[in-house]
Every structure is written in structure tokens, then in C-alpha cells.
Chains A and B, each alone.
Chain A
Amino acid sequence: MADIATRATRVTPATRGRRHNGGGPRAGVIVAFVTPFFLPFVLFYLVPICYAIGQSFMAVRRTGGQYGTSYTTFGGFEQYVKVFQNTEFWSSIGRIALFGIVQVPVMLFLALIMALLLDTPLLKLKAFFRIAAFMPYAVPGVIAAIMWSFLYSPQLSPVVDVLKAIGLQPDFLGPGAVLWSAANVSTWLWTGYNMLIMYSALQAIPQELYEAAKLDGASNWAIAWKIKVPIIAPSIILTTVFSIIGTLQLYAEPAVLRQISSNISSTFTPNMLAYAVASGNNYQQAAAISVVIAVITFVLSFGFMRLTSKRAGL
């Protein structure tokens, strides 16, 4: 703080036009630049996080039986104990884990294959493929889920019609299939976005890097897997982390499918559970669930980054 104060006094009209050593404007100016973002960031990011953590340690009690007046008091880890004892919580976590273990690798593998193919001279119509894959990103998750729910619906779907015509009996909304129907909506929405992140990284690699390998007679296939993929590993890690975060937040897709399928409960994903609990006015319990989801998200994202960066020596 002291150096800022002295610098401020030194900026007199005489020295104003000159570069004062160390450079940079006065503290007041910096504050004026940063505050318009930082104040809302504190109010709408940091404060709610602290508030949720605070709420998760509170509990509602009643004086004198069922009809007594209720009051909120410090509850310690009570809410967290309830979360961990809640079987609905564990089944929602199990569902989302299964979803993530299958959907994220499938989606990222598709994205990687597309990005690598777009980066070879093998393809024509590259611009068309790029746009086709990226288009779903323009579609809101809710709308995507509504569109796909028509394609899953036995009455309306041309996909079901075609499958029936070749003798299959698909039931996209059945108890075993509905999780994968939701996974398909996420894959459809995000493959192109992830593909473009990887593709941008591929485009940034200088061509000379391949020249030596090409002269040695390496195939496109070998160049792709042995040279390109290791170089764009940071992008693949980034897309994986974003996908993990997205998976744990899953809400819109299953909420829409729930409107047409009885096989999705109101507590299908952790986020749906948190919302259902909050709708029942149990805010402290909902806050605890949200905090647990956020902690799991952080642990998984950072854990994955640490693990991969160690192995890849990045």
C-alpha cells in the first residue's frame, strides 16, 4: 500500500506527462477499472458460495412439537450427516457417475476423431462438417432435450418408425435406456464444441513438426496418434475437466425427459435432488447437497488435472 501512496503523491501536474518509474496508473484508476467486474463477482459468486456454506451448517428446530414456532440455529455437521445417509443422494451420484464414465469418454473420443480428421488432407467439405458439428452448441440444453424427446417418443419419432420397420422394438424411455437417452442429448450438444477446442489446438501446431515424420514415411495415422495427440493433450485435459463439471451439474436434459417418461424420478441427478429438497423449503439440506456437489466437482477436476499432468510430464 505504501508504494501506491507515494506514487500517487508523485503524480503532480509537472511529472504527469512523464513516465514515472515502475509505470502504471494510480491506485484509484486501477480500482475504477477492476471494480465494475469485481463487485458483481463478489456479490453473485463469492457471497452465495459463503452463504451456502454457512446455511449448510444451520438447522431448523421447533419449540414444543409439531405446531411450535420454528427457529434456525447452528447445527454443526447435521446436514452433511443427513446427506450421506440419504439413499436418494447416493443413487443420484451412482447414476451420474455411470453417466460420466461412459458419456464423457465417448463424446471426447468422437470429438478427437473428428478434430484429427479435419486436420488431415483426407477430407473435403471441411467447413460443412465443422459447422454441422458445432451447430448444436447454438441450441439451448432444454430445447435440445425437447427436440430429442420427440425423436424418442413412440408416437412421433421417425427413428422409432425406421427401427420398427427393420424389426426392432426400441424403447428409448424405458427404465434401462432413459439414462443413455439423456447421455445422447449431452453428447449431441457438446461434441462439436469440444471438437473445435481440439481442432483449434491442432491448427496451432506448426506444420514443420510433421515434415520429418513424413519424410521417414510415417502414415497420417501414426502422425495423428504419436505426434498430434500428445501435443494437444492440454486441450484434451481441459475439455475433460469442463465435461466433468457439466456432468455433475446435469439438470435440464433429465428434467425435460421426465416430462415424458415416468422412469426419471424428481431426484434423478444430484442437482435435481438439491432443487427438489429446496422446493420443500429445506434450504439448509439443499445447501449441504450443493456444497457436496461443488466439493466433488473440485476434487474430480483438480484430481484429474494433477493426475494427467504428472503422467504427461506437463
Chain B
Amino acid sequence: MNNQTPIRESRVSRTAAMALMFLLAIYFLLPIYFLLVAATKPQGDLASTFGLAFSHFNLFENLSTLFGRSDGIFGRWALNSVIYAVLGAAVGTLISALCGYALAKFKFRGREFLFSVILGGVLVPTTALALPLFLLFSATGIVNTYLAVFLPSIVSPFGVYLARIFTSAAVPDEILESARLDGAGEFRTFFSVSLKLMTPALVTIFLFQFVGIWNNFFLPMVMLQKESLFPITLGLFEWNGQTARVSLLQESVITGALISIVPVIIVFILLQRFWRTGLAAGSIK
């Protein structure tokens, strides 16, 4: 980098910039560090020892208490979250890819209108949909089943938007033309040629939708009464509400919270590249 600014200015700004960024990094990491420390402590040490210092190492006992509570309900919640998020994001990514691909590569009447309607969906507050969906689902008897959370989760207008942009950029028309010349049908072309070219885009769409479903709280809260169907977020919320009466539950809420964020954080760090392409595409809009 050819830096034309005077050396003194840049040394002062360098130090100030680093100091500011370190302060902010501490702000972002502190709650996670606190959770990590708290999850290793026995319940008794939570209030009596300093929150940022390790005390008696009790993580494994905490884990076994956590997973043993109410016949292993926490494991069930974790499994539910995985089911909702993995299946929902997988199905959601496929249907977004099909639709976004059609919007990018096929010319048909009403295409732009269709796209505007879907884009409008990005602006709809999803919590505003939850209550009317609950009423509609009660009429059909889907309320309080896996489907009540799964079905609305597969729809991601943002995914279609990303799929359209990525397809335009990654799938050249010439390849589609030559596939057509070879006599391949549109579906065969899509699954055997285009999907491969779209893979990085699909991973990005999948990740965004996965996190959206994993983090969702309002929809499951509205739809589910049966504890065995809860995702982790709703389960921990319920437990957290009971800690005033059952104070021993506090340690399990802490350990459970840690368990629920660690896998996602690891996936995040490993797949950083895809996040950045997704966010970059979002910023073009």
C-alpha cells in the first residue's frame, strides 16, 4: 500500500484505531466468555465467585445434570432445533434456488412483477405473520405439531433474491444453450449443470436460512404447547422463567445456552467466506 499520509499522523491514528477496536472486541466477546466461565462452575459458585474468573471446574457434572433433566428433554430440544433448521434450510434452499434460477434465466410474462412481490416479502415483519398463521393452522389442526414450525420456515424471500443474483452471475447463458442443443430438458440441465455452478451460492443461502430458523423464537412460541416439540430457544426461555422458583435450574440454563451457541459459532468461523459473499450481495440491493 502506498500510504502518502505523514508518518506521525498514522502512528497516532494507528494506536487510537487499535485501542478502539480492542475495546469493541472485548464488548462483543465478554458475554460469550462469561458464559463459558459460568458453564464450568457449580451452581453455588455462580453468585459467590467473580464472574470472569474460573473456580471449581464442574463442566462435566453440569452437562450431565443438563442432559438428565426431565428425562433428557434438553437433548430432545437440541435435536428438534437441528431438525427444524437443517431440514427447513435444505428444503428452503432448494425451492429458493429453483425459483431464483427461473427468475434469472427464463423469460416469461409477469417475471418482474413476480420478483417484486417476492422482494416485498423481505420487508414483511415475520412476527406479524405468526399470529394469523396460528389461527389458520388451528383451523387445519396443524398447530402444536412439527409442521407448524417447519412449513412457514421453508419460505425465504431473501433466499430467492440471493439465488437470482447468484444465478445471473455464476451460470452463463452459453452453457444452458449448449445443454439445450444436446437435447437436455430444463430440469436435467438445472440438476446436472447449473446446480454445480451455483454451489457456493447455495451454501450461502442455506447458511442464512439455517441461522434464521435456528434463532427463531416467536413462531415456535406461538405455535407450540407441547414441550417435546420445542426448539432450544423456546425450551431455555421456559427454563429461564422458572429459575426464580427452581434456582438450581440457573446453572442448566447457562450450560444449555453455551451448548446452543458453540456449534453455530464454529460453523460460522469455518464458513466465513460464504457469509461475506451473501452479505456483499445483500449490500448491492
Q: Spell out A's residues near B (CB within 8 Å).
A: 1, 3-4, 16-19, 22-25, 27, 29-30, 32-34, 36-38, 40-41, 43-45, 47-49, 51-52, 55, 110, 113-114, 117, 120-125, 128-129, 131-144, 146-151, 155-159, 161, 188, 191-193, 196-198, 200-201, 203-204, 214-215, 217, 219-221, 232, 234-235, 238, 241, 245, 248-249, 251-252, 255-256, 259-260, 271, 274-275, 278, 283, 286-287, 290-291, 293-294, 297-298, 301
Structural contact, B285 and A122, CB atoms closer than 8 A = no
Residue of B nearest to A147 (CB): B31
Segment at the interface with A among B6-14, B62-70, B71-79, B195-203: B6-14
| Shortest Cβ gap from A118 to chain B (Å) | 8
A27–B110 Cα distance when bound, in Å, is 12
A16 to B186, CA, bound (A): 12
Q: Is B177 among interface residues, defined by CB-CB distance under 8 A?
A: yes
A120 to B21, CA, bound (A): 13
Task: Give Cα A136 to B218, complex, Å.
Answer: 19
Q: Which residues of A contact B265 (CB under 8 A)?
A: 135, 138-139
Complex contact B3–A137 (CB within 8 A):
no
Q: Is there an interface contact between B17 and A140, defined as CB atoms closer than 8 Å?
A: no
Measured CB to CB, the residues of B under 8 A from A are 1-5, 9-10, 13-14, 17-18, 20-21, 24-25, 27-32, 34-35, 38, 46-47, 50-52, 94-96, 98-99, 101-103, 106-109, 114, 118, 121, 123-129, 131-136, 151-152, 154-155, 157, 160, 177, 180-183, 185-187, 190, 211, 214-218, 222, 232-234, 236-237, 240-241, 243-244, 253-254, 257, 260-261, 264-265, 267-269, 272, 275-276, 279-280, 282-283, 285
Bound Cα distance from A311 to B233, whole angstroms = 42
From A34, A55, A297, B114 is in contact (CB under 8 Å) with A34
State how many angstroms separate the Cβ of A191 from the closest Cβ of chain B.
Answer: 8
Q: What are the residues of chain A within 8 A of B126 when measuring CB–CB?
A: 249
| Interchain nearest-CB distance for A181 vs B (Å) | 13
Chain A contacts for B217, CB-based, 8 A? 140-142, 251-252
With A27-B108, A144-B31 as contacts: A17 and B25 at CB distance below 8 Å: no
Distance in Å: Cβ of B28 to nearest Cβ of chain A = 5
> Knowing A45-B129, A146-B253, A197-B279 touch, does A133 contact B24 (C-beta < 8 A)?
yes
Smallest distance from the beta carbon of A255 to chain B beta carbons, Å? 7
CB–CB B34/A41 < 8 A: no
CA distance A221 to B17 in the complex (A): 12
